[in-house]
Structure 1
Amino acid sequence: MKGKTIFLGILGLILVAMIGAFAYYGGFTKISPEIIQCGGETLVYEKMTGDYAQSAIVSDRVYQNLIDDHGIETTKGFGIYYDNPKTKEKSTLRSDVGCILETDFDKLDAIRADFEVSEYPLGEYLVAEFPNRGMSSVILGIIKVYPALERYVEENGYESDTPVMEIWDVPNKKITYRKQLIKRG
């Protein structure tokens, strides 16, 4: 009887720890997409073809190069994902991955020698936010946010196969998702 009680106690502790971790990484966060006027950021990036799971490696490479070669430290990374991984082969997925430049705009010419540089278009986007507390938040965000964005566009007459931008805001500990909006014709 004592062994059974200990086993149930340990099982209970594991369950509480799992629920706590799920909550900490954003598992209980309510996703409320809304249309917001935004954009205008200066993007420094590499074009990437292949599995979106490689985004962190590319983002880190851009970040480190900006520090090492240009003396610029950024606080926001991003990925713009052009293809739906449910309908395209992983090896053909297209994205732009890098950092958002918030200072040192006088160094853009030198940066262009190493990376692509562009300004993200101003416009109305479908936007949702999610906590960023590590890789588990990124995974939970994919699981929770993308379906909420898809539901919104389907229910409101927008195209579903449009690019999504993720902004990984380190100081504010959040991930912002922006979906391009195009009305169905």
Structure 2
Amino acid sequence: MSEWTSVCVAVSLSLGLLLLAGYFLYSGLFSQIIVFTGYPPIKKATFVYKLKEGPYKNCGEVFKEANSIGPTLSCMGIFYDDPKKVPGAQCRCAVGSIVSEGEDKADEELLKRYETSGFRVFSMPEVTHVVTTSFPHRNILSVLLGVKRVYPRLESYIKERKLCAHPFLEIYREGLIHFMAPLARQGDFYVPEVRLAERRLLAEGELDSDSDISGADSNSEYSSGSGILLSDSRETSPAASPDRDHADASPKGRASRGRSLGEPDWEQTEQEGERPERLNKDERLKSLQASRPNLWGVVGGEE
């Protein structure tokens, strides 16, 4: 009897390991990542968003809310700060849904529903040059694997070619996570609240003039430099994005059972007291100045 029990246990463990390995493989563990410069995965778009300030892993609640209003729409997050250089409490991102793209018109009734829920409307231009790649979005684990695997590749690609690519966008649609960073008209991808904050610091003399993004590359088609690099330290952002469930799993894991392939599951709760208090003005300025040379520097002073 004991021998039979041992055999059963061994078989069960083997099957469990095989299933786990299969789950990781299906989620994109060894999916090929091809980073390239070219056309973006989206055209000009109308984006409804809420600005979130704090650790990127806490964005899931907003994604869940946006998805509940427009469940058939593509979800998107725009990430403005490098968590390696900016304290988590000060990292900013705009998260929400794409309500129209190209020449299509946004549904007015749907827009009203978003605006009633506190979302703002933002128009993004169509650009011809972006750094981009994609990753499978099949389940919660895909988001974690995508963030861990894709951002180091993007960082290496941008550094090697001395490009100025910012901010970073993640678009969730049709079973894929599209990662992209524009190489032109970067300032037009900054929502008004972020642009206003940068201008205020500039006006107060607390930020170098070459750090302003109010019109960054608004007329250029291509720029080079040392753009901001979002690293894999974003352990749960809308990169974990639509499914923002990352390994640190500070938000509780969201079950994707019963959902269609690639459909985000946004249920998430923030741990009590997890979000740190805002740093004071001097500390914020210090962190901004520390990150700005890499964030805004452009060869030839284009910015």
TM-score, normalised via structure 2 length: 0.53
Q: Which residue of 2 aligns with 1:131?
A: 136
Unaligned runs of 5+ in 1: none
The verdict on how the C-alpha distance between 1:128 and 1:6 changes in structure 2, with shifts beyond 3 A counting, is: same
The structural deviation recorded for 1:104 is 5.6
Q: Which residue of 1 aligns with 2:224?
A: 183
- Whether 2:168 is the aligned partner of 1:156: answer no
The verdict on how the C-alpha distance between 1:48 and 1:164 changes in structure 2, with shifts beyond 3 A counting, is: same
- Equivalent residues of 2:66, 2:97 under 8 A apart: yes
Q: Which residue of 2 aligns with 1:116?
A: 120
Q: Secondary structure at the match of 2:78?
A: strand
- Whether 2:106 is the aligned partner of 1:105: answer yes
The structural deviation recorded for 1:105 is 2.0
* Residues 55-112 of structure 1, C-alpha deviations (whole Å, 9 max, x = no match): 2210221333xx3xxxx55421010001111222111000000000036625287455
The structural deviation recorded for 1:152 is 0.7
Give the counterpart of 2:87 among 79, 86, 89.
89
Amino acid at match of 2:49: Y
- Equivalent residues of 1:74, 1:99 under 8 A apart: no
- Whether 2:17 is the aligned partner of 1:15: answer yes
Q: Which residue of 1 aligns with 2:30?
A: 28
Give the counterpart of 1:53 among 54, 57, 65.
57
Rounded to whole Å, the distance in 1 between the matches of 2:15 and 2:67 is 40
* Residues 25-55 of structure 1, C-alpha deviations (whole Å, 9 max, x = no match): 1111110011222341210101111111122
Q: Matched residues, percent identical? A: 29
- Whether 2:149 is the aligned partner of 1:144: answer yes
Rounded to whole Å, the distance in 2 between the matches of 1:109 and 1:143 is 34
Q: Which residue of 2 aligns with 1:79?
A: 77
Rounded to whole Å, the distance in 2 between the matches of 1:42 and 1:82 is 18
Whichever of the two has the greater Rg, that structure is 2
Rounded to whole Å, the distance in 2 between the matches of 1:105 and 1:5 is 61
Unaligned runs of 5+ in 2: 184-222, 226-298
Rounded to whole Å, the distance in 1 between the matches of 2:66 and 2:6 is 53
Rounded to whole Å, the distance in 2 between the matches of 1:15 and 1:130 is 24
TM-score, normalised via structure 1 length: 0.83
Whichever structure has more strand as a proportion of its residues is: 1
